[in-house]
Structure 1
Amino acid sequence: MSTGTPLGDFLRARREALKPHDVGLPEHGRRRVPGLRREEVALLAGVSSDYYVRLEQGRESSPSPQVLDAVAQALRLNPEATDHLNRLCLDPSQRPHDRNGAGVSQQLLQLLDGWEQSPAFVLGPALDVMAGNSLATALHSGFTRFDNLARMVFIDPAGRAFYQEWERAAHSCVAELRAAYGHDPDSARIAEVVAQLTRDSTEFAVLWRMHEVKSKSQEGKHLRHPEVGDLHIRFAAFTVNGAAHQQLVVYQAEPASPTAAAFEELATLATQRAGR
């Protein structure tokens, strides 16, 4: 994952992503390092340079909320990135996580199966597909496996054809993994997924080092299925109560749209194949 600390790695990446003009500072001459200097962040945050250096080097692991707020403002972090910064400073005993890997509840499985016109699936914190209804399986039938969204985006040969806005999907995928990592930096499964993707995808490795943070939200997607063609969908992600960091993802089509017709065709194909 990294040779530094989660907090130090995050601060360094966000500092290096900023230019002096982004924060209203003058830029004189050639710089030996990318982005802002440590002393510039310290100045903007109102802390000593030595203190900020200790933060980045992992020698100061319990900064006050006031200091974190000041650093977040200095680095121009949005609310989600600021929350991530605060989570990285939590003691392990304060982190909500599920080491036993709770499965998908029977009630949720029944709910998935009841959505016959909408692909729906459940994701774990490392973007593992924990369960999905028949339409979700049919939608992703072009992939070698419907198992982990990050692997499917970056490694599976079908990823670039399926996700028509591949770069957007790639950035979103990495940012979601980074957000999950902030909740549980000691997660063995997240570490395993990140290690595999870093080894097998240069593009993932570059994006992972950027430390961008974003959870799933409601937005649209442009997909292309090998059998039913282009799909323009809306989707929503919901936190599953009682299950640590599980997400329920539901894809929807506009009523009476070509995508709705394509979903019906996919459902028919899935039924036919199940009956063979």
Structure 2
Amino acid sequence: MTLDRRAELGEFLRSRRARLSPQEVGLIDHGARRRVPGLRREELALLAGVSVDHYVRLEQGRTLHFSESVLDAVGRALRLNPVEREHFHRLARPWSGEEPPAEQQVRPGLRRLLESSDVPAYIVGRGTNVLAWNRLAAALITDFSALPPRERNLARLVFLDEGMRELYEDWPAKAADVVAYLRLDAARNPGDSGIAELIAELLEASADFRELWNRHALKDKTHGRYIYLHPVVGRIDLGFETLRLPDDPDQGLIAHTVEADSPSANALHLLASLTAQTQTV
């Protein structure tokens, strides 16, 4: 089971047409009733300067042999942001069918870096799999070592573990971010059957995931902040930075940051102290 890129391409383009109105793009709306929201295919083709048949073949995935200039024109007409534009080009390019990706391994040096860090940090691989973590990350989020390897997955945890809903002050925002990143990751790794199976599982098991997945939102994991409601030390406001590995960009080291001398810094220090005590018992 792998990603159906032609279907994904069509759904993505339809979702982006649906969010644009004729008025927004300078077209005259003659008041005729529209069967679907947003721009019609012929209106989008007009804006992009391509024939209607050309655009329809693109949206229906009948061929993946379009020039960069055509893709650029359609992207501009749809007002795609840089992340969406890269995603669109990736989906619309021919794909030869690569070999299934090899299992990801974390270098010993990176594990030592995690262990020496005094902030919660972990490494995420393809399909939001958590590949490695330090003790503070386990104390903050969940004890990954107590989970079967298959369950060490951020998307699975966020949508299938009820405790995650209580951990994040704004769980809907966290859930939306995870889905937007997973969709981007799936397109980057179309031959990864594990990602496709994960998506199928979550579509079946979680109504929240289905609703978010159907939005076709895209977001790369770069930096940001989440507020945790930890059951022991309380509210912790943490930023995060994602560091990509040059020799394996599908691995990202997520390191949290905290404002010095803040209540969150005190809470994090307390969590670290409790974690150290537990380790020595």
Q: TM-score, normalised by structure 1?
A: 0.92
Judging changes above 3 Å, is the alpha-carbon distance between structure 1 residues 79 and 101 closer, same or farther for their aligned structure 2 residues? same
1:175 aligned partner, one-letter code: A
CA deviation profile, 1:129-157 (whole Å, cap 9, x unmatched)? 11100000000138995721112222211
Q: TM-score, normalised by structure 2?
A: 0.90
Once the two structures are TM-superposed, the CA of residue 236 in structure 1 deviates from its matched residue by 0.4
Counterpart CA distance in 1 for 2:224 and 2:153 is 20
Correspondence for 1:201: 206
Counterpart CA distance in 2 for 1:101 and 1:18 is 41
Q: In the alignment, is the contact (CA less than 8 A) between 1:237 and 1:248 conserved in 2?
A: yes
> Helix, strand or coil: the match of 1:122?
strand
Residues 1:58 and 2:41 are matched in the alignment: no
Correspondence for 2:46: 43
Counterpart CA distance in 2 for 1:244 and 1:254 is 28
Q: In the alignment, is the contact (CA less than 8 A) between 1:6 and 1:185 conserved in 2?
A: no
Q: Can you give the 5+ residue segments of structure 2 that lack an aligned partner in the other structure? A: none
> Helix, strand or coil: the match of 2:246?
coil
Correspondence for 1:234: 239
Q: In the alignment, is the contact (CA less than 8 A) between 2:5 and 2:91 conserved in 1?
A: no
Counterpart CA distance in 2 for 1:60 and 1:220 is 41
> Helix, strand or coil: the match of 2:122?
strand
Q: Can you give the 5+ residue segments of structure 1 that lack an aligned partner in the other structure? A: none
CA deviation profile, 1:204-255 (whole Å, cap 9, x unmatched)? 1122122211101222221111111001111101111212411110001111
Please give the root-mean-square deviation of Cα atoms over the aligned residues, in Å. 2.2
Judging changes above 3 Å, is the alpha-carbon distance between structure 1 residues 90 and 29 closer, same or farther for their aligned structure 2 residues? closer
Question: What is the aligned counterpart of 2:177 among 149, 172, 193?
Answer: 172
Once the two structures are TM-superposed, the CA of residue 64 in structure 1 deviates from its matched residue by 0.6
Judging changes above 3 Å, is the alpha-carbon distance between structure 1 residues 177 and 11 closer, same or farther for their aligned structure 2 residues? same
Counterpart CA distance in 2 for 1:29 and 1:76 is 24
> Helix, strand or coil: the match of 1:21?
coil
Correspondence for 1:15: 17
Residues 1:124 and 2:125 are matched in the alignment: yes
Counterpart CA distance in 2 for 1:98 and 1:274 is 39
1:228 aligned partner, one-letter code: V
1:99-248 matches, within 5 Å, as 99-115=101-117, 117-141=118-142, 145=147, 147-248=152-253
1:114 aligned partner, one-letter code: S
Once the two structures are TM-superposed, the CA of residue 169 in structure 1 deviates from its matched residue by 1.2
Identity in percent: 42
Counterpart CA distance in 1 for 2:192 and 2:60 is 22
Matched pairs, number: 274
> Helix, strand or coil: the match of 1:136?
helix
Judging changes above 3 Å, is the alpha-carbon distance between structure 1 residues 239 and 17 closer, same or farther for their aligned structure 2 residues? same
2:94 aligned partner, one-letter code: D
CA deviation profile, 1:92-142 (whole Å, cap 9, x unmatched)? 3597x9711221111111110110x20000001211111100000000138
Q: In the alignment, is the contact (CA less than 8 A) between 1:14 and 1:210 conserved in 2?
A: no
1:204 aligned partner, one-letter code: F
Which moved further from structure 2: 13-22 or 44-53? 13-22
Once the two structures are TM-superposed, the CA of residue 9 in structure 1 deviates from its matched residue by 2.2
Which moved further from structure 2: 212-221 or 24-33? 24-33
Once the two structures are TM-superposed, the CA of residue 2 in structure 1 deviates from its matched residue by 6.1
Q: In the alignment, is the contact (CA less than 8 A) between 1:123 and 1:249 conserved in 2?
A: yes
